[in-house]
A and B are shown apart, each in its own frame.
Chain A
Amino acid sequence: MQFSKRTNLIAFVALGIALAVIPNFLTNNYQISIMILIALYTILTVGLSLLMGYAGQISLGQAVFYGMGGYITAWITVKMGLPPLVGMLVAAIITGAFAYVVGIPMLRLRGNYLAMATLGLNVIFELVVLQETAWTGGPDGFQGIPKFSLGDLVFKTDREVYVLVWIIALIVIVLSLNIVNSRVGRALRAVHASEIAAEMNGVDTAHYKVAVLVLSAVYASIAGSLYAFWNGIISPSVYHLTFSIELVVMVAIGGLASVWGAIFGAAGVTLLAEFLRNVLPQLLRGASGEQEIIAFGVILILVMIFLPEGLTTGSLIRIRKWRADRASAK
């Protein structure tokens, strides 16, 4: 779904104001930590939404790029003692290069081979992280990652991290909105609409698909680095395949091919998950937090049936149609 530049600007300013005000209403660290998670997932889903909605490819391996960002950052800052910013940048470059190398053979094939290949990648990644204990810390995780800092400025408390992650998330959003509304974005949408016709118009489709995969991987890596700085420890369970699937669910629920949809998806799914985790055990005696997954499944099915374009895009289409119907009825 395309928005005008003005709509995007208004939405962006509104989001910025909301984010500046929200911390005043948050009373405990638990609530702030959820807001931090939403920022991290926003960075991840915006990239994935570009890949799914614009290049028409599904990646079930975003957790791998997220994990690479975390582990490389950990290695550079802890084992090599380099500053956090260097760790984050180097991790992004290596992860991007990795996505490029695995992306070329995968994306030259037409159709959704990327989903299967990235799924395999995720399984391999989990095994490597668990087995290569000397490098990754194995099941115990990688510990002692420093807080993010720029010179003397250290982002130590959760409130400080909140500012950091949302600034980066906002940068990612602006960058992505600009890409979508540029010549490159038009080419991406063309690839999605008809690959053959895009090629006939001179669009190098394979090149673009790889480029978006790399971009989404770099975003994921940055989110992974931020998570590592914040948490101080990373362990394999975070990078399980289910996390990759959750990200796809966020994008699908929020709305494909929409940067704003990705943000709503990330926020909606995260808040809902926390809500269910707290409420379900109270409603059903003996229900564990894990049963939220069942509720998730039901919600996903309902969204796919009634709003297959996702919550944002889907409801906007409905509203526009309703308005048009009303106008023609008059």
Chain B
Amino acid sequence: MLQVRDISTYYGQICALDTVNLRVRPGEIVALIGANGAGKTTLLNTISGILPARHGEIIFEGKTLTRLGAETVVQFGVSHIPERRQVFGTLSVLDNLLLGAYHRRDKLVRDDIAEVFELFPILNKRQNQQAGTLSGGEQQMLAIARGMMSRPKLLMLDEPSVGLAPLIVREIMRIVADLRTRGTTILLVEQNAKAALGVADRGYVLENGRIVLEGTAQELMADEGVQKAYLGKGERLQLSRCRADTNLVCLENDGINSCVVCPHKDSK
């Protein structure tokens, strides 16, 4: 469905994505995980046409998206739900949803609004409220609902869990799984690897602008490197005592050499 081939993206001289390859098949949930600054958002922004790729190709259902602007890409059926939600704060919830269907000319928009209200009853209750007054979780739901209004074939979610309470994160992930059963393919970008791999079929790990690992969600969850880096399992990092001579506190694990000045003279 979506093929990202050898994509490189630069911010000026700085290389943010280095020959990235990624594939999403119809009906899949694919998770893209990685630390802060790994290039996850850059990749989504490149696919959706907000950033230009310097090299490589993006192909969606046989059509090349590589040099198209964001307002055109969405018309091909790729919906991007941006980081930090980006709802239109001064507009009502209903207007936000109508904007999601902005490029559609068909008459089913009202039906689709009824459908997303069924999916997100809270939005129905708040439909005339300004979007900026919603809670974080509600805004995320609105952002997803707005993305759904364009009737996307592929929905790209950028960090839907960020800043939300664990209970809400679970709710959001349930919705993501639910959307797939309704026939939408999903590319999910997350720092919360546990939540993302919990719903995904396959995943990619992005580090410093490169894909370093790919596999099924189970494979990735079982991978020792992934567990250590993203799932918080494995050995705990040990801190040394504050050394009186150097006034430094250091990590004692193998292969890690990092010291900082003691926070307080007599602390441990």
Contact = CB atoms under 8 A, between A and B. Distances in A.
Contact of A193 (B72, B79, B90): B90
A7 interface: no
Nearest to A204: B71
A196 B86 contact: yes
A190 B99 contact: yes
B88 A199 contact: no
B87 to A, nearest CB: 7
A204 B90 CA distance: 19
Interface in B9-53: 48, 50
Contacts of A201: 74, 99-100, 102-103, 146, 150
B69 interface: yes
A193 B50 contact: no
Given A186-B91, A186-B99, A193-B89, A199 B50 contact: yes
A53 to B, nearest CB: 10
Interface in A184-200: 186-187, 189-190, 192-194, 196-200
A204 B89 CA distance: 19
A203 B50 contact: no
Interface in B66-96: 69-72, 74-75, 79-80, 82, 86-92, 95
B179 interface: no
B98 interface: yes
A199 B91 contact: no
A273 B88 CA distance: 38
A107 to B, nearest CB: 15
A232 B71 CA distance: 48
A192 B90 contact: yes
A198 B99 contact: yes
Given A202-B102, A202-B150, A193 B91 contact: yes
B71 A202 contact: yes
B48 A190 contact: no
A202 B75 contact: yes
Nearest to A207: B71
A183 interface: yes
B150 A193 contact: no
Interface centre among A187, A189, A200 (most CB of B within 10 A): A200
- Which of A196, A199, A203 has the most CB atoms of chain B within a 10 A radius of its CB? A199
A189 to B, nearest CB: 6
A186 B74 CA distance: 18
Contacts of B87: 194, 197
Contacts of B95: 186, 189
Nearest to B149: A201
Nearest to B79: A200
B102 A183 contact: yes
Interface of B: 48, 50, 69-72, 74-75, 79-80, 82, 86-92, 95, 98-100, 102-103, 146, 150
Interface of A: 2, 183, 186-187, 189-190, 192-194, 196-205
17 contacts: A2-B92, A183-B102, A186-B95, A186-B102, A189-B95, A190-B88, A190-B91, A193-B89, A194-B89, A197-B88, A199-B69, A200-B48, A200-B80, A201-B99, A201-B150, A202-B71, A205-B71
Shortest beta-carbon contacts, A-B, top 5: A202-B103, A193-B88, A197-B86, A199-B70, A202-B74
